[in-house]
Amino acid sequence: MKLDQKLLRIMAIIAGVFIIIVLVVVIITTINKNKKLERHEFEERVENLARVYYRNNEDKLPDIGDTVSIPLQHFIDNKSLRHNVLKTGETCYGEVEVTNNNGYYLVLPNITCDEEKPIRLHELLTKEENIVTSSHGLYKYNDTYIYRGEVWNNYIAFADKIWAILRINADGTIRMMDTEKNIRTVWDNRFNLTEQKASGINDFIQGDINSRIKDTLEWYYYDDNYLTHEEKAYLVPQDLCVGKRSLSDYGSDGSIECSEIIPDQMLGLIQANEFMLASLDEHCYYPYSAPCTNYNYLSSVANSTWSITADSTNTFKALRITGGITSTNCTNSVPIKMIAHLTNKAIYVSGTGTWNDPYVIK
């Protein structure tokens, strides 16, 4: 009998402790839901709520290339978010956008608090006061914007690297180059029938067979050590202009390079004409022109890398950036600096674009 009473007493104590724990959890949860947050904490919370929502409603996720959104009010209505007022007293409204970029989902809160509205990076860069018509800076070029001259404020931090912004495209996507020298690689090293030796073939793609350089670019994209899944979600497909040209071909408008296009690629390399366009020297007529290195930020940023442009005067050489532009055997081992296109959804967070204070996005 005494044993039964002792057992009942122990069970009552355990039950009491359990009830207290449950009450504490409920109270903490309620406090957390009601607690007013800083803006970055608030955005993190609604982003996490959106991730949970779409994890439980996968049928509502967007197709590749599409964007869907869920309003902030949705989370308030279903009680997962108690209010939309920050610790500062600001009232927030907006939505969480989910974009499917090549199978990777970018989840971005697009939230305005009082009058503080987020700004897309491409909108910031292309403000009227940032556009120049002479000297060094960002130029309007057809329906795009390109950096020319010895610019110093076109750097962005992304994927634990510093990238140089080359161009803002018509759709607001941003063309940028990894400034790090990655592995040295051949452009190609296959047996060349014309040369009757393993001198490489300077076709970027031949039928459905990739060159070595194309294989390398694809390997980098799928390597999670180079780009995490979260970072891949910020990148959009680009068209690669792989037309060949000689060092003596006139012009820098890209019509030669873009005479052959491979669509929907994730990583690329610089085109020969892009190096020429970046120069402010009026005597930069041909790829071999020495003045092309003058007043040209790419003389240092793009040095040294393979370009994506092959030499049209033979079957075994491609153009390389080495301060200027040279024609180099495809079998030579040269570093590569990848080019990617950043989504037009990227939101500016901080930075002035200098090397020491690059643009930061979310």
Take residue 252 and report the two structure tokens written for it. 């820098």
Phi-psi region of 4 (alpha: psi -120 to 50; beta: other; left: phi over 0): alpha
Take residue 33 and report the two structure tokens written for it. 């839901």
Which of 191, 190, 178, 210 has its CA nearest to residue 336?
178
Take residue 146 and report the two structure tokens written for it. 């390109």
Alpha-carbon span 74 to 95, nearest angstrom? 9
Tens digits of residue pLDDT in 310-356: 999 999 999 999 989 999 999 999 999 999 999 999 999 999 999 99
Alpha-carbon span 148 to 137, nearest angstrom? 6
Tens digits of residue pLDDT in 225-271: 999 999 999 999 999 999 999 999 999 999 999 999 999 999 999 99
pTM: 0.88
SS3 track for the chain: CHHHHHHHHHHHHHHHHHHHHHHHHHHHHHHHHHCCCCHHHHHHHHHHHHHHHHHHCHHHCCCCCCEEEEEHHHHHHCCCCCCCECCCCCEEEEEEEEEEECCEEEEEEEEEECCECCCEHHHHHCCHHHECCCCCEEEEECCEEEEEECCCCCEEEECCEEEEEEEECCCCCEEEEECCCCCEECCCCCCECCCCECCCCCCCEECCEECHHHHHHHHHHHCCCCCCHHHHCCEECEEEECCCECCCCCCCCCCCHHHCEEEEECCECCCHHHHHHCCCCCCCCCCCCHHHHCCECHHHHCCCEEEEEEECCCCCEEEEECCCEEEEECCCCEECCCEEEECCCCEEEECCCCCCCCEEEC
Alpha-carbon span 333 to 331, nearest angstrom? 6
Would you write out the chain's pLDDT as a tens digit for each of its 362 residues?
Answer: 454 666 566 666 676 666 666 554 444 444 444 456 687 888 899 999 999 999 999 999 999 999 999 999 999 888 888 777 777 788 888 999 999 999 999 999 999 988 788 999 999 999 999 999 999 999 999 999 999 999 999 999 999 999 999 999 999 999 999 999 888 999 999 999 999 999 999 999 998 999 999 999 999 999 999 999 999 999 999 999 999 999 999 999 999 999 999 999 999 999 999 999 999 999 999 999 999 999 999 999 988 899 999 999 999 999 999 989 999 999 999 999 999 999 999 999 999 999 999 999 99
